[in-house]
Chain A
Amino acid sequence: MTEASEKKQGMHGALDDELVNLRTLLVSPEQQEIAVLKERLNDPDIRAEELSRVLAEAIVIRASKDKKLAQALLPTIELTIKDSVKKDPKFLADAIFPVIGPAIRKAISESIRSMVQSINETMSYAFSWQGLKWRIESIQTGRPFAEIVLLHTLIYSVEQVFLVHRETGLLLQHVAATEEGIKDVDMVSGMLTAIQDFVHDSFGVSENQVLQSLNVGDYTIWVEQGPQVALAAVIRGNPPESLRAHMEEELEKIEFEQRYCLQDFKGDVAPFALSRHHLESCLMQAKRGIGEAGKTTIPASTAKPARKRSAHDLIWLIIGAGIISLLLILGSVIFQVAGK
């Protein structure tokens, strides 16, 4: 290296030293602060401590802005629940017991009600004139009496189904079996809700008990209630409990599918059109004697094949017997008279 460049390097070095000195002189206190901050940033304990101070508030703020936090936590929470159950199932079971209890009771009472309805139907016809006719039919066709009763009474048709937003009474969706329906379904939906409120208010019904059915003449309105929405079916005739179970299922599906729309519901019902098929599936009916239409099932007799003897045979039998006995009486009278 030449003397000139060496000198230059030396000068640079000196300048550098001077720069460092200058820097220290000017910003020494700040440098120290930066050093402290750097230490804090790098120390995980300190960072955890800092974060812990704002964590709760941050969660509240974020949760109020959008749903990203819930989505982000979802996989973690699922795993946590899994682990909790693995570790000690009792813990979680105790926690959800208050919810499960009523759910189980409801399920049991529904199935008992279903059973009772069939028995009721059978019993009420057992000793009536109608019942007598049906007993004869049962003997003729070889089918159990209970089945004959159900066959003749289980005639119904779901004419309309409403999906109602419980809090506001607003109509979310409506389907009808035929084109001609009621004039304004929005108003009907409102009034239905008002009636429920009225009953609740007037008869001191407890908060978690809900209106389930209205009966007027030939019509029955069945209402299935979820936390946010209610499904109401306008039925003509005598509907089976299986319809109610189906309505419950469809309601649960709707509540789940539409949970986000329901949370933010501000009057826009267009998104609920996606759930129409659930309502349509409730438009069931069963026709007299023939069997099923739609999704209903009247239990078919699997026992013996039906003997094809019509009621006419019986009537002719009786008439025949009557004529014969008349002839016999006539005959014996003539005989007696002739004998004298």
Chain B
Amino acid sequence: MAEIVKKKVCMLGAFAVGKTSLIRRYVENMFSEKYQTTIGVKVDKKTVQLGSKAVELVLWDLAGKNGISEMRTTYLRGASGYLLVVDKTRLNTLEVGMDMHKMAQEILGKVPCLLLFNKWDLEGKWDIDDAAIEKLQRDGFETMKTSAKTGQSVNDAFELLARKLVE
């Protein structure tokens, strides 16, 4: 009998960074996106197999906001970790992302988090350059480049987060 561990994980990010389309194909979904516009969150599930252990990530995909003042922080409660999604073609989504990160750390403390730079498939439309990303890595962020179109790194991102959650 495989060992199963369940974890609540939040997905945060500014408006239209592509969180939902990013994960759509890789998670089990049951609820339509309309829940994000109505109650501001949609719950999906992703099971990651780490050896003999299965980590069941219950994903709370929070509706994208343009500032933390609009963020429903209640939904963060009890999360073991989170994914921060940033649109690499729009610099201000990084600022919003950082604000959300600070807010999340205030509420949850130092929990594992992954910074995802999305829309990596859009060549040439880079608002956020490699130097900025390297600086963030030096600041201690674990980062990854993702794309909903190519599916690049999505499963990797979940696996990495799951690993960090169980160690």
A residues less than 8 Å from B56 (CB atoms): 186
| A200 and B74 contact, CB distance less than 8 A | yes
Give the distance in Å from the alpha carbon of A201 to the alpha carbon of B58 in the complex.
21
| A195 and B5 contact, CB distance less than 8 A | no
Against A, the Cβ 8 Å flags (1 = close, 0 = not) of B39-68 are 111111100000000001010100000000
B residues less than 8 Å from A171 (CB atoms): 6
Report if A170 contacts B (CB, 8 A). Answer: yes
Residue of B nearest to A191 (CB): B43
Q: Which of A177-235 contact B (CB under 8 A)?
A: 183-184, 186-191, 194-195, 197-198, 200-201
Report if B77 contacts A (CB, 8 A). Answer: yes
| B58 and A169 contact, CB distance less than 8 A | yes
Give the distance in Å from the alpha carbon of A190 to the alpha carbon of B28 in the complex.
13
Report if A167 contacts B (CB, 8 A). Answer: yes
A residues less than 8 Å from B31 (CB atoms): 187, 191
Residue of B nearest to A172 (CB): B6
Number of A-B residue pairs, CB cutoff 8 Å, is 78
Q: Which of A255-284 contact B (CB under 8 A)?
A: 266-270
Report if B79 contacts A (CB, 8 A). Answer: yes
Interface size range on A against B = 20 to 34
Report if B24 contacts A (CB, 8 A). Answer: no
Report if A168 contacts B (CB, 8 A). Answer: yes
| A186 and B58 contact, CB distance less than 8 A | yes
B residues less than 8 Å from A183 (CB atoms): 30
CB distance from A83 to the nearest CB of B (A): 40
| B74 and A186 contact, CB distance less than 8 A | no
Report if B118 contacts A (CB, 8 A). Answer: no
The answer, among B3, B39, B45, for a CB contact under 8 Å with A184, is B45
Give the distance in Å from the alpha carbon of A200 to the alpha carbon of B39 in the complex.
11
Interface size range on B against A = 20 to 34
Report if B80 contacts A (CB, 8 A). Answer: yes
B residues less than 8 Å from A187 (CB atoms): 28-31, 43-45, 58
| A190 and B43 contact, CB distance less than 8 A | yes
Interfacial residues, chain A to chain B (CB-CB below 8 A): 165, 167-171, 183-184, 186-191, 194-195, 197-198, 200-201, 266-270
Residue of A nearest to B40 (CB): A198
- Give the 9 A-B CB pairs with smallest separation, nearest first: A168-B78, A190-B43, A167-B78, A267-B5, A168-B8, A198-B39, A197-B74, A267-B6, A187-B30
Report if B35 contacts A (CB, 8 A). Answer: yes
| B28 and A269 contact, CB distance less than 8 A | no
A residues less than 8 Å from B77 (CB atoms): 167-168, 197
B residues less than 8 Å from A165 (CB atoms): 78
Kindly list 15 other residue pairs between chains A and B, CB separation below 8 angstroms, not including A187-B43, A198-B40. Answer: A165-B78, A167-B78, A168-B58, A169-B8, A169-B60, A170-B7, A171-B6, A184-B30, A186-B45, A187-B28, A190-B58, A194-B41, A194-B60, A197-B77, A198-B41
Which of A171, A183, A187, A266 is the most central at the interface, judged by chain B CB atoms within 10 Å of its CB?
A187
Question: Can you list 14 A-B pairs with a CB-CB distance of less than 8 A?
Answer: A168-B80, A169-B60, A169-B78, A170-B7, A184-B45, A186-B45, A187-B28, A187-B44, A188-B30, A190-B8, A195-B39, A198-B40, A201-B74, A267-B80
B residues less than 8 Å from A198 (CB atoms): 39-41, 72, 74
